[in-house]
Chain A
């Protein structure tokens, strides 16, 4: 785990209101695995850091993807190149890529695309054929960047690709990795309990000490999205007790 001062390098828009930020974080870029995240802080900013999956890695740079969903993310998107972020990571337990599997389906909804470019990288490195399945409400909310041997688009309103959810469009594959709103992931769990899903929770510390990011488990009790997670076997989560949607309108 590293705590770095990371200059912001670039920003690009990849869907309506959805941006990728690129920052220098060499030690994290070298060691991060698909599904892991960084906890970002900045000054002046809100009290708590904000967790983001690492989206892509380019040399010494890492990228994260976000929308302005609250005050913190709005501040992040207002930052300029050379502004510095405090970058803590890599954090959490990422996706597993078992040897000997032939195909992987990477299923994402909206900002759930965040861990998928690294998942495509690591899946391919493990010898798998990768199908990229990405859904959103409507065409201009789809992340324009896709990385798969095959790509399936899905929109709720049918404005591009499959008319319906990404989960409904999901092909059969040896390995299913999914990320998106928790209600989407619970649908993945119903169809493929063996899928690996990256869940969304509020986080306090991001490092396992505050116990704020509790994920309810089928076997009882909770564990920590920031430590044992954020990636879980879909069938292990007690979905009825995990908030289906997080209200982001933080007043801070």
Chain B
């Protein structure tokens, strides 16, 4: 018998637990060899209200078992997203959430309001790893009050699912997780990339033009499993695990550590079939271990 891999994520029901992570799938329209059947949902490339050019090259550099990226949230702005991509999403058989970004809590709220009700937009993932221009460039995601303010600004403007993507660059992820839960988030995504740096020893300067970049890939997986677990222990809303997943076993680590679903990102760059491979591998594991549904999978989630 085939196990039931559907998941409840607050007010969203997904047919599978494997989601495409923001920034690794574009707007879903150019993904090669896409196997839609395996996709629980897709999170779009991050968008701002206005178009953004992004950072100069070099934007990426490979590191041991990982990569640093500093793309700079290049994107066409919300109007182009609504015009060019949302109509296509409306035809698809899996939900598309939009990863939203802003320089102030108000801007996040305005973006959510602009997208709420647009056919094809099924919900929001808030990227709180943006600098808060009104507070001297401090990152929203490093401050529980700013994280809550952004979450609340979006929550007030939509009834669609609101997820918050947490940054790992914090002292206690549980504090931020609880702040977002309290402000009305339906689910949390843990975690975004780690900030890293790589030096070119010939040029004697950083390899990335932006100096620093976000580290992703298998290098961060144990760190991410731990942080997702810590977030899951801190809240009662679902947590979606992210960080270096390349195969079903990686995804199952996040699920057993307390996550309700997972996102696959960097692995898609390497293996265009990564999401399908992870999905099918989870199904195989469930069948061979006699679990009828993901809800039956025991979670290691001791409460304090």
Chain A residues whose CB sits within 8 angstroms of the CB of B300 once the complex forms: none
Q: Given the complex, which residues of A lie within 8 Å of B202, measured CB to CB?
A: 247, 249
Separation of A17 and B221 alpha carbons in the complex (Å): 37
Contact between A247 and B60, CB atoms less than 8 A apart:
no
Q: Mark B108-121, 1 if CB is under 8 A from A, else 0.
A: 00000000000000
Whether the Cβ atoms of A209 and B26 lie closer than 8 Å is yes
Given the contacts A222-B53, A241-B56, A251 and B63 also touching, CB distance less than 8 Å: yes
Across-interface contacts of A48 in B (CB, < 8 A) = 62, 67, 269-270
Choose among A1, A205, A221 the residue with the greatest number of B CB atoms under 10 Å from its CB: A205
B65 at the interface (CB under 8 A from A): yes
B25 at the interface (CB under 8 A from A): yes
Q: Which among A126-134, A150-158, A211-219 touches the partner chain? A: A211-219
* CB of B73 to closest CB in A, whole Å: 9
CB pair A214 B56 closer than 8 Å: yes
Known A-B contacts A222-B74, A252-B65; the reply to A202 vs B203 at CB < 8 A is no
Q: Is the CB of A215 within 8 A of B60?
A: no
Please report the C-alpha to C-alpha distance between residue A17 and residue B158 in the assembled complex, in whole angstroms: 60
Give, as a whole number of angstroms, the nearest-CB distance from A153 to chain B. 29
The answer, yes or no, to whether B161 is at the interface (CB within 8 Å) is no
Contact between A214 and B74, CB atoms less than 8 A apart: yes
Beyond A1-B33, A222-B54, A247-B200, is A47–B60 a contact (Cβ under 8 Å)? no
Question: CB within 8 A of B71: which of A1, A88, A212?
Answer: A212
Complex Cα–Cα for A33 and B118 (A): 40
* Nearest-Cβ distance from residue A196 to partner chain B, whole angstroms: 20
Residue of B24, B58, B266, B271 touching A202 (CB-CB under 8 A): B58
Q: Are A207 and B31 in contact (CB under 8 A)?
A: yes
CB contact list, B54-87 vs A, under 8 A = 54-67, 69, 71, 74
A221 to B65, CA, bound (A): 30
Give the interface size class of chain A.
35 or more
Which residues of chain A are within 8 angstroms of B74 by Cβ–Cβ distance?
A: 211, 214, 222
Q: Determine whether B1 belongs to the interface, using a CB cutoff of 8 Å to chain A.
A: no
Considering only residues 170-202 of chain B, those with a C-beta below 8 Å from chain A are 198, 200-202
Give the residue of B33, B57, B63, B273 whose beta carbon is less than 8 angstroms from that of A201.
B57
B207 at interface (Cβ–Cβ under 8 A)? yes
Q: Is residue B134 contacting chain A, with contact meaning CB distance below 8 A?
A: no
Contact between B71 and A47 (Cβ–Cβ < 8 Å)?
A: no
Mask for B211-231, Cβ within 8 A of A = 1, else 0? 000000110000000000000
The interface residues of chain A lying within 8 Å CB-to-CB of B62 are 46-48, 202, 250-252
Given the interface pairs A46-B62, A214-B59, A247-B203, the reply to whether A207 lies near B32 with Cβ below 8 Å is: yes
With a CB–CB cut-off of 8 A, which chain B residues contact A250?
61-63
Interface assignment of A220: CB less than 8 Å from any CB of chain B: yes
B281 proximal to A (CB < 8 A) = no
Contact B269 A216 (CB under 8 A): no
- Asked if B272 is an interface residue, CB under 8 A from chain A, the answer is yes
**A47-B270, A210-B71 are contacts. A215–B57 as well, Cβ < 8 Å?**
yes
| A61 in the interface (beta carbon within 8 A) | no
Which residues does chain B contribute within 8 Å of A207, judged by CB atoms?
A: 30-32, 272
B164 to chain A, nearest CB (A): 23
Is B99 in contact with chain A by the CB < 8 A criterion? Answer: no
The answer to the question of B268 belonging to the interface, with a C-beta cut-off of 8 Å to chain A, is yes
Question: What sequence of 0s and 1s flags, for each residue 30-48 of chain A, a beta carbon within 8 Å of any chain B beta carbon?
Answer: 0000000000010000111
Whether A204 contacts B60 in the complex (CB less than 8 A), given A47-B218, A247-B202, comes out as yes
Q: Is the CB of A221 within 8 A of B53?
A: yes
Closest residue of chain A to B269 (Cβ to Cβ) is A205
Q: Is the CB of B58 within 8 A of A1?
A: no
Cβ-based interface call for B131 (8 A): no
Name which residue of chain A comes closest to B69, CB basis. A212
A77 CB contacts on chain B under 8 angstroms? none
Q: Please tell me if B23 contacts chain A, counting CB pairs below 8 Å.
A: yes
Instruction: A46 to B64: give the CA distance in the assembly, Å.
Output: 8
**In the complex, what residues of B have CB within 8 A of residue A211's CB?**
45, 54, 59, 71, 74
Binding site for A on B (CB under 8 A): 23-26, 30-33, 45, 53-67, 69, 71, 74, 198, 200-203, 207, 217-218, 266, 268-273
13 more A-B residue pairs beyond the given contacts A3-B33, A251-B63, with a C-beta to C-beta distance below 8 A: A49-B269, A206-B269, A209-B30, A210-B23, A210-B24, A211-B54, A211-B74, A213-B59, A216-B57, A222-B56, A241-B57, A247-B200, A247-B203
| A→B interface (CB under 8 Å) | 1, 3, 41, 46-49, 86, 88, 201-216, 220-222, 227, 241-243, 246-247, 249-252
Of the A-B pairs whose beta carbons lie under 8 Å apart in the complex, a sample of 27, sorted by A's number, is A3-B273, A41-B270, A47-B65, A47-B66, A47-B270, A48-B269, A88-B32, A202-B60, A202-B62, A204-B60, A204-B269, A206-B269, A209-B25, A209-B31, A209-B268, A210-B23, A210-B60, A210-B269, A211-B54, A212-B59, A214-B55, A214-B56, A214-B59, A216-B57, A222-B54, A250-B62, A251-B64
